């Protein structure tokens, strides 16, 4: 018995609920399912942001203005978190959608989709909206939010796009991202009053986001490109799918295999040192550099542990000469190193000014 059978299939209940809802939805309700699928889409995010911004401008109560602006910020941060998390889960798990499982037995409204069922992006977005607006509304408005989220979830099952477990996972992800966004925003606001130094959790967060974005991009490449396949984006830039057993920019890629374990150990040692350094009081630019290098190092370590080699997909070339393929982790390491150089230059300039003034 697998974890998927228990946690996702619910011992067959997930499929049974889908069939009951999907085949039990009368044709007269199909326009309603289409409508709630439309207003529960990520594409309505600009309208939600504009609506909250307009609300903050239309009220004269300063406390109300602050409350709406705070929820606007929470929603924006939560949306970014949810977008990254949902993309990673979809690409990593790659659960089949109802038409891929049931074929013609699944009644589909619109164009049938076959891949990336968990979580439901529409349910995730509906939960984001409901959780973000919840503190601003009374009990009637909150009932409306519950109804909105429920109907968006129902519409995805009725349209044959998702199983109930996908919808439930989306609701949980959306709500969790709003809670996480609230805590991140409140901690960052508290840190602003402590001078130019940022707390360690903020820089650890930058590293985690760097790892997540890097891994999501690599998953997308692995899922959509065959090994060695490439796609021309511009006359000097391609997307490719290659595996690199070496370090950044293919350093030591031709070694005999021992480099995998050396680079894993080295990456973990560097990460431990950087995490210790970030606990100290550092200027923001230096801390940003350390956090980006930390995220990049751990992103490539994850590849070596999970795949044995690093996925590279960015190919820059000019007049037939190709720079060694690299990835977003390498980009993060390079930007982090540039931040450290710039921080050192600024420190030297301040030191020179201090010496000359004295």
Give the residue numbers marked as catalytic: 312, 330
**Which residues lie across from 314 on neighbouring strands?**
239, 326
| Torsional class of 11: left (φ above 0), alpha (ψ -120 to 50), beta (otherwise) | left
Task: Identify which of 181, 229, 172 has the alpha carbon closest to the alpha carbon of residue 73.
Answer: 181
Q: What is the DSSP string of 124-155?
A: HHHHHHHHHHGGGS-HHHHHHHHHHHHHHHHH
Q: At a CB cut-off of 8 Å and minimum separation 6, what does 37 contact? A: 109, 110, 122, 152, 155, 156, 159, 161
Q: How many CA atoms lie within 13 A of 310 on its CB side?
A: 33
Task: Identify which of 287, 296, 35, 304 has the alpha carbon closest to the alpha carbon of residue 154.
Answer: 35
Using a 10 angstrom Cβ sphere, with 0-12 exposed, 13-18 middle and 19 or more buried, the burial of residue 178 is buried
Task: Count the neighbouring beta carbons within 10 Å of the beta carbon of residue 205.
Answer: 17
- Residue 310: phi and psi, rounded to 5, are -95, 135
- Secondary structure (3-state) at 247: coil
Give the span between the Cα atoms of 292 and 303, in whole angstroms.
17
- Secondary structure (3-state) at 230: strand
Using a 10 angstrom Cβ sphere, with 0-12 exposed, 13-18 middle and 19 or more buried, the burial of residue 210 is buried
Q: Check if the beta carbon of residue 13 is closer than 8 Å to that of residue 21.
A: no
Q: Check if the beta carbon of residue 72 is closer than 8 Å to that of residue 54.
A: no
Q: How far is CA 244 from CA 71, 229, 271, in A?
A: 44, 15, 20
């Amino acid at each position: 018995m697998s974890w998927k059978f228990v946690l996702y299939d619910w011992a067959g209940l997930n499929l049974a609920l889908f069939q009951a809802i999907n085949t039990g939805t009368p044709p007269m309700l199909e326009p309603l399912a289409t409508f709630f699928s439309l207003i529960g889409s990520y594409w309505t995010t600009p309208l939600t942001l504009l609506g909250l911004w307009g609300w903050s401008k239309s009220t004269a109560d300063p406390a109300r203005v602050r409350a709406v602006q705070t929820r606007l910020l929470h929603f924006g941060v939560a949306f970014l978190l949810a977008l990254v998390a949902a993309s990673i889960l979809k690409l990593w798990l790659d659960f089949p959608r109802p038409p891929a499982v049931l074929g013609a037995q699944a009644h589909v409204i619109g164009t049938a989709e076959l891949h990336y069922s968990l979580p439901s992006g529409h349910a995730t977005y509906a939960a984001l909206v409901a959780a973000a607006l919840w503190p601003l509304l009374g009990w009637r408005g909150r009932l409306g939010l519950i109804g909105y989220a429920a109907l968006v979830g129902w519409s995805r099952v009725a349209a044959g796009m998702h199983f109930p477990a996908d919808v439930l996972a989306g609701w949980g992800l959306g709500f969790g991202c709003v809670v996480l966004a609230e805590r991140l925003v409140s901690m960052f606001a508290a840190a602003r009053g402590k001078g130019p130094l940022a707390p360690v959790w903020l820089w650890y967060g930058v590293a985690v986001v760097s790892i997540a974005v890097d891994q999501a991009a690599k998953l997308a490449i692995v899922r959509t490109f065959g090994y060695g396949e490439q796609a021309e984006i511009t006359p000097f830039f391609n997307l490719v799918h290659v595996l690199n057993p070496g370090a950044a920019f293919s350093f030591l890629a031709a070694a005999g295999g021992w480099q995998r374990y050396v680079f894993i150990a080295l990456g973990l040692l560097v990460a431990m040192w950087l995490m210790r350094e970030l606990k100290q009081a550092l200027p923001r630019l230096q801390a940003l550099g350390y956090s980006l290098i930390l995220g990049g190092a751990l992103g490539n370590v994850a590849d070596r542990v999970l795949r044995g080699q690093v996925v590279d997909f960015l190919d820059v070339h000019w007049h037939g000469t190709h720079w060694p393929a690299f990835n977003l982790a390498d980009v993060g390491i390079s930007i982090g190193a540039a931040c450290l150089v710039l921080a050192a230059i600024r420190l030297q300039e301040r030191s020179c000014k201090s010496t000359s003034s004295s």
